[in-house]
Amino acid sequence: MKMEKNIMPIIDKIKDPNDVRLLSLPQLRQLSEEIRKYLIETISITGGHLASNLGVVELTLALYYVFEPPKDKFIWDVGHQAYVHKILTGRKEQLNLIRSLGGISGFPSIEESKYDVFNTGHASTSISAGLGLARARDLKNEDYKIISIIGDGALTGGMAFEALNDLGVSKTKMIIVLNDNNMSISPNIGGINNYLSKIRVSKKYAALKFKTQKIINQLPIIGKPLIDVLEKVRNNLKFALVSGKMFEQFGLKYIGPIDGHSLEDLIDFLSHVKNLDEPVLLHVVTQKGKGLPCAEKNPTEYHGVNSANNNGNGHSFSKTLGQTLSLLADENQSIVAITAAMADGTGLEVFKDKHNDRFFDVAICESHAVTMAAGLAISGLKPYVAIYSTFLQRSFDQILHDVCLMKLPVTFCIDRAGVVGADGVTHQGIYDLSYLSLMPDITIISPKDIQEFKMMLKWSLDYNKPLAIRYPKDSVLEFDVHTPIEYGKWEIINSCQSNIYIIATGGRMLKLGIETSKIFKNHKINIINARFIKPLDYVFLDNLADNSYIITMEDNVLHGGLGMSIANYLLKRNKKFKIKHIAMPEKVTIIGEIEEVFKKLGLTPQKLSKEISDFIQ
Ligand SMILES: Cc1ncc(C[n+]2csc(CCOP(=O)(O)OP(=O)(O)O)c2C)c(N)n1
């Protein structure tokens, strides 16, 4: 689908948000069509969050029509739906490189634009952040509007409710736009969603009543009797507006639901809430994938699409999890599986289809997922909690307090561990070894390939304490060696007469280690698969000859990771050794394919071989 300049005139004229405010309603409608076409054409090449963005085209346009950023501040919850916002704020051309090396982020980024006021990526933060901004504005006697835009999926996160709880009583002036498309990544679930469903059906009603009320408000008022009558009608209409009681009981003014694809309604309602002097929630109903029939029909599939040069057909650890756990659950009735709104991404859809009564999608609330799993475990069941490394950060306290301190047999299946590539800095899975290894009684393991992952899952059945299995999205290769899993034992991939050791964890780093070692002609290097990260293989380390050269490799930050644990242990044992750590920096901001990120970080066999050869001189 090539776009001709003459049929796409408006989008190219939008250089900054002020240009949007100069447009007429028909021009805004045309612009919304142009933006949709542009999104479809661009994102099908770059990859990215297509369906969510198609759903917010009119909403974003109306926000820019009514408000005045950068003075007024938009906070996009999760931030995956901010592509239209990026187009309207001078980044249309840069969208061609979104999520790729040298390109712009797929999420709002304060480093990228003055219109991105708060970095997002993890769900349910926008109301808290917005309230912080609003309180600061008031303390500094400043005057601007703060608008948090949150999806119905993100609203299921507990943090959003903690913020509502605070906001309602504080009476701080800010606007929440609830973008309700009845979908998380998969269909949204739970009591909040049921509640929203009930009020969603009445959207036409709210708009109609609002318009009637506006007309009455504009009538000239003549004489006391007529004033009284009009007051009564006004009040009746106020109460006739479909009421979002739950939000009102929090202390917010609720308005809606309204049609999120009617520019006219959106502009009317946003102009109205703009001038309210209290916290207000505007409930906007949109359709995920709007304008692209296949995405409308299957929004889950189009939530995130692959780039044109990545068909996503690599061997996937996620798929293996779903399939293997389903098979194991056929035999073992105590297995239960838990996801926090990521059944698709974690591969648990298969388990859900086969063992629906033992599958729990708890919505976007990782902390609840973990403590709920602890409850299942203490009652004798065998829970597997599948969560991406980056989102598991949300459950630090629950893992420590509710699982580890009671030594409960909860198994954490930590997907997307290590560098994640296109999603960038907010989604890196490079911290889990650090935040887990400090916890008592947890065992942390990592498979080098799919085959070993299956072996670990099987092995985990009889392991009766907290266990974390970390793995990346795709398996980079299959190894030939597969020795049985033995508690606290590493696997020797390459053994030779030498005092140089590469000790690596995970397939990615092992592969890098092996390729690096091949460059050394004059030195032989032992290659060790550190599949147990906690505990380490103490027998192996105790048997190391003095003056060994050890190179540790991990796709986790240095602090608290494999390398530091090894160094600490050897120091404690008074060993003489030389050690070099290959690990991730504290923040990986490079966006791109994993190989490209590794290259930028200097993690190539050529570069590493040079470093290692300096080290062993
Ligand atoms: C804490 C956390 N857990 C999980 C995710 C993964 N995730 C990204 S978008 C999304 C669904 C969001 O749904 P909603 O807020 O309704 O936005 P929509 O895409 O439907 O517009 C999820 C679960 C996340 N970003 N943050």
Question: Tens of pLDDT along 298-310?
Answer: 999 999 998 887 7
Average pLDDT over residues 214-218: 64
Q: What is the pLDDT of residues 476-535, one digit of tens each?
A: 789 999 999 999 999 999 999 999 999 999 999 999 999 999 999 878 999 999 999 999
Average pLDDT over residues 593-608: 97
Mutate to test the pocket of ligand 1, among 119, 285, 290, 364 (most ligand atoms within 8 A of CB): 364
The token pair at 493 is 């991939």
Least reliable range by pLDDT among 74-83, 182-191, 344-353, 363-372: 182-191
**Whether residue 29 lies in the annotated active site:** no
Residue 429 near residue 417, CB atoms below 8 Å: yes
Average pLDDT over residues 119-124: 98
Going from the Cα of 123 to the center of ligand 1, the distance in angstroms, rounded, reads 6
Q: How far is CA 519 from CA 8, 476, 548, 605, 606, in A?
A: 54, 20, 20, 8, 8
Question: Vertex 201, ends 199 and 207: CA angle to 5°?
Answer: 85
Band of pLDDT at residue 5, cut at 50, 70 and 90: very low
Average pLDDT over residues 136-142: 98
The catalytic residue among 394, 416, 470, 473 is 394
Residue 460 near residue 449, CB atoms below 8 Å: no
Ligand 1: does its nearest atom lie under 6 Å from the Cβ of 370? no
At 188 the three-state DSSP class reads: coil
Going from the Cα of 318 to the center of ligand 1, the distance in angstroms, rounded, reads 18
Alpha helices in 254-365 (DSSP H): 263-274, 293-297, 317-331, 349-354
Residues sharing a CB contact under 8 Å with residue 347, sequence separation 6 or more, in sequence order: 316, 317, 318, 319, 320, 321, 322, 323, 386, 415
Ligand 1: does its nearest atom lie under 6 Å from the Cβ of 394? yes
**Whether residue 366 lies in the annotated active site:** yes
Residue 134 near residue 174, CB atoms below 8 Å: yes
- The b-or-e profile of 572-591 (16+ CB within 10 A means b, else e) is eeebebebbbbbbeeebebb
Ligand 1: does its nearest atom lie under 6 Å from the Cβ of 151? yes
Q: Is the pLDDT of residue 78 over 80?
A: yes
Residue 556 near residue 434, CB atoms below 8 Å: yes
The catalytic residue among 145, 288, 290, 575 is 288
Going from the Cα of 260 to the center of ligand 1, the distance in angstroms, rounded, reads 19
Residue 98 near residue 146, CB atoms below 8 Å: no
Mutate to test the pocket of ligand 1, among 185, 283, 305 (most ligand atoms within 8 A of CB): 185
- Index of the ligand 1 atom closest to the CA of residue 154: 15
Q: How far apart are CA 438 and CA 410, in angstroms?
A: 17
Give me the amino acid identity at 424.
Answer: G
**Whether residue 33 lies in the annotated active site:** no
Nearest to 145 by CA among 177, 169, 168, 170: 177
Residue 79 near residue 105, CB atoms below 8 Å: no
HSE, CB side, 13 Å, CA atoms: give it for residue 515. 13
- Index of the ligand 1 atom closest to the CA of residue 155: 15
Percent of the chain topping pLDDT 90: 86
Q: Is the pLDDT of residue 273 over 50?
A: yes
pLDDT of residue 209: 63
pLDDT of residue 227: 58
Q: What is the pLDDT of residues 443-486, one digit of tens each?
A: 999 999 999 999 999 999 999 999 999 999 887 789 999 999 99
* Pairing assessment for the beta strands 532-534 and 443-445 based on DSSP bridges: antiparallel
Give me the amino acid identity at 404.
Answer: C
At 549 the three-state DSSP class reads: strand
Average pLDDT over residues 163-192: 95
Ligand 1: does its nearest atom lie under 6 Å from the Cβ of 339? no
Least reliable range by pLDDT among 108-112, 200-204, 493-497, 570-574: 200-204
